[in-house]
Structure 1
Amino acid sequence: MSEIALSIENLKVSYGSIEALKGINVKVPKGKIVALLGANGAGKTTTLKAISGIAKVEAGKINFFDKDITKMSAEKITSLGIMQSPEGRQIFSDLSVVDNLKTGAFTLKNKEEIKRNLDRVYRYFPRLKEREKQIAGTLSGGEQQMLAIGRALMSSPKVLLLDEPSLGLAPLIVRDIFKIVKEINEEGTTVLIIEQNALQTLKIADYAYVLEVGEINISGKASDLIKDKKLIEAYLGSC
């Protein structure tokens, strides 16, 4: 197996008396796309929040290239090279497209690198270039999702965390988003994606984990999981 970019060991997170994660183990090899699949309430977003330093870890360990980041602040984790595109986009709706993108580069000091990253984002998402002066709140849902992913790429992340990038989008837009995520990965960025749209995700992922009520029930190569019709119906739905 490749070098491990991100590893989660026996991770437990609770919200009061509710156990959101019950000791999960996940490995994200460098240069791969790993999917974390499951229904609403399975614990997917909590996993990303724990990695990003937003959710408090009750027990277990999170390593980033063998560095323990379990107790680190969200700011420190971002500066190390982990960036998240959150569920619901969470763009700055009253700022322009280009100003939204520049907020994603707050950890960078090199103006040349920021310019290169902006050019890269516009290459992936030409529509954002066309609308760079437009107020972000007036974009379509698909364009806002492109903006959220583009903003996350502005910091030159080593690992990109994607939280439900297909949520609420039309099928054609979803297909475009997944195609671009694959391109981003092929150019060297490791991706951990959480999704309800299992079939589309398994088509681009290398490995997948199925999370159900805070526990990993199934894991394996995405190419194997996508062939298991019973598994798709039982755990992942027919999406």
Structure 2
Amino acid sequence: MRKTALSIKDLKVNYGGIKALKGIDIDVYEGSVVALLGANGAGKTTTLRTISGLVHAAEGTITYYDRDITNMDPEKITKLGISHSPEGRQIFGDLTVEENLKVGAFTQTDRKKIAESFDRVHRYFPILKERSKQIASTLSGGELQMLAIARALMNNPKILLLDEPSLGLAPLIVREIFHIIKEIKKEGTTVVIVEQNALQTLKIADFGYVIELGNISMSGEASELIKNPKLMEAYLGSN
């Protein structure tokens, strides 16, 4: 029987008078990749930010392995095992690659575990090992995205939240990023990914939700959603 890692029920989020999320339900099973698809402004990023505690819910619940984490402090959520790689990467540009990764491990106190996390991210992203002493602001766009994902992995999370990991990257780098996401899943980390690139995302996802104007308009197994011509046409799945 599949274990539920994350459960969102009737989640509502407001920005002033704007209803960003209007009561969405999402279930994320342990060890799966779940895709949140939709246009800009649909509520995808708001969903991730609410899970990680950066945005407060007006109503509804977010449950992490049967524990209510709704509106919990972001640092506590991170310590529980949820890491967030935000849209726009948000790297510390004046720090080195290694220093940025150390920031990602701020909840870890065991030196052995931190060393294991470094080994893991260097295995996924060998270029970051080569660039370890380089100032982050001098990295390419693809390298910055790799660093953002690697930094989130330094916490050794049970759930990894990825917001637009392919945004602005060349197709070759995008393929590499998606391949690494598959490897992360193989090693047992649950992934929730926000993406506009529907086709690429559904190819690696187990399940998908389409968010439109704060509501779930469609959901299902990724293998079924990818066959939906309306969905593919709406979200430019041909790219």
Normalising by structure 2, report the TM-score: 0.98
Matches of 1:200 and 1:235, distance apart in 2: 11
Matches of 1:132 and 1:143, distance apart in 2: 12
What residue ranges of structure 2 are gaps of 5+ in the alignment?
none
Corresponding residue for residue 12 of structure 1: 12
Amino acid at match of 1:221: E
- Identity of matched residues, %: 67
Corresponding residue for residue 36 of structure 1: 36
The residue correspondences of 1:76-95 to structure 2 (distance < 5 A) are: 76-95=76-95
Whether 1:125 and 2:139 are equivalent positions in the alignment is no
**Matched positions, count:** 239
SS in 1 for 2:115: helix
Aligned partners of 1:94 and 1:136 also within 8 Å? yes
Aligned partners of 2:61 and 2:68 also within 8 Å? yes
Amino acid at match of 2:213: V
Superimposed CA distance per residue, residues 47-89 of structure 1 (whole angstroms, 9 cap, x where no aligned partner):
0110011111000000000100003111111110000000000
Amino acid at match of 1:38: G
Matches of 2:74 and 2:238, distance apart in 1: 35
Aligned partners of 2:211 and 2:217 also within 8 Å? yes
Matches of 1:15 and 1:71, distance apart in 2: 15
Corresponding residue for residue 152 of structure 1: 152
Whether 1:193 and 2:193 are equivalent positions in the alignment is yes
The residue correspondences of 1:54-203 to structure 2 (distance < 5 A) are: 54-203=54-203
SS in 2 for 1:89: coil
Aligned partners of 1:124 and 1:180 also within 8 Å? yes
Matches of 1:97 and 1:109, distance apart in 2: 20
Judging changes above 3 Å, is the alpha-carbon distance between structure 1 residues 226 and 52 closer, same or farther for their aligned structure 2 residues? same
Report the more deviating stretch, 199-208 or 70-79. 70-79
Amino acid at match of 1:157: P
Matches of 2:101 and 2:235, distance apart in 1: 36
Judging changes above 3 Å, is the alpha-carbon distance between structure 1 residues 156 and 85 closer, same or farther for their aligned structure 2 residues? same
Amino acid at match of 1:34: V
SS in 1 for 2:31: coil
Displacement of 1:229 in angstroms is 1.6
SS in 2 for 1:27: strand
Superimposed CA distance per residue, residues 29-61 of structure 1 (whole angstroms, 9 cap, x where no aligned partner):
000000000010000000011001111100000
CA RMSD of aligned residues (A): 0.9
Structure 1 runs (4+) greater than 2 angstroms displaced = 234-239
Amino acid at match of 2:110: N
Matches of 1:224 and 1:53, distance apart in 2: 32
What residue ranges of structure 1 are gaps of 5+ in the alignment?
none
